[in-house]
Amino acid sequence: MRTGLLGGSFNPAHRGHRFVTLEAIRALGLDEAWWMVSPGNPLKASAIDMAPLVARLASARAMARRAPIRATAIEARMGTRYTLDTLRRLKARYPKRRFIWLMGADNLAQFHLWRGWRGIARAMPIAVVARPSYNHSALAGPAMGWLRRYQRPAATAMRWTTWSLPALVLLRFRPDPTSATAVRAADPDWQRHFAPAVDH
């Protein structure tokens, strides 16, 4: 099973997440993608508008309906806090799956701040989805300075399972302007829509 992994707060999940995931599934020839709803992003620890995990997971499951996307709180179940630990555990737990890490250019711009980011690149291929407002900072950032030598042509994206690691590919799709920040600004109490779906 060729599986894409997209981690995030999903605070809340929105159509932009769905759009880029479906485009990545097509570009990379994936069987499915997993949305890993983070129990708590260490780089967003000071966020005051972070909804509870159950509400964020419910929003992700609703947005993933009728698509080859599985929304999961697997990090909370495994008790992992950092992406590198999560990816290592997933590879050990699912040895017959081939995983590729999906991230937006906004995350690539700050990737060098992630714990063990070079280890992440050595653990599995990375597909970066372009985001116009972040592309320059991402491509000029410290992480890309190191990763650039491992970049693969987008035309070879379907063959990612054959790449030696580290390996990174940049994917460009028609941008979707939706952002979780804008969704929260328009509806600060968005969590109430998912109250019936919350497990207690």
pLDDT value of position 24:
96
Residue 41 has pLDDT above 90, yes or no: no
Minimum mean pLDDT among 45-49, 52-56, 112-116, 139-143: which range?
Answer: 45-49
DSSP 8-class letter at 165 = S
Chain position carrying tokens 């994206």: 157
Q: pLDDT of 89-148, one tens digit each?
A: 999 999 999 999 999 888 998 999 999 999 999 999 999 998 766 667 778 889 999 999
Q: What are residue 129's DSSP bridge partners? A: 104, 171
Is 87:117 a contact under the CB 8 Å cutoff?
A: no
Burial-class residue 186 by CB neighbours within 10 Å (0-12, 13-18, 19+): exposed
pLDDT band for position 1 (cuts 50, 70, 90): very high
pLDDT band for position 200 (cuts 50, 70, 90): very low
**Neighbour tally for 45: CB within 10 Å:** 8
Sheet holding 32-37, edge to edge: 69-72, 32-37, 2-8, 98-104, 126-129, 168-171, 151-152
Full-model pTM = 0.87
Concatenated DSSP letters of 153-196: -GGGGGGGGGPPSS-EEEE--------HHHHHHH-TTGGGGGGG
Chain position carrying tokens 């994936």: 30
Is 42:83 a contact under the CB 8 Å cutoff?
A: no
pLDDT band for position 195 (cuts 50, 70, 90): low
pLDDT value of position 173:
80
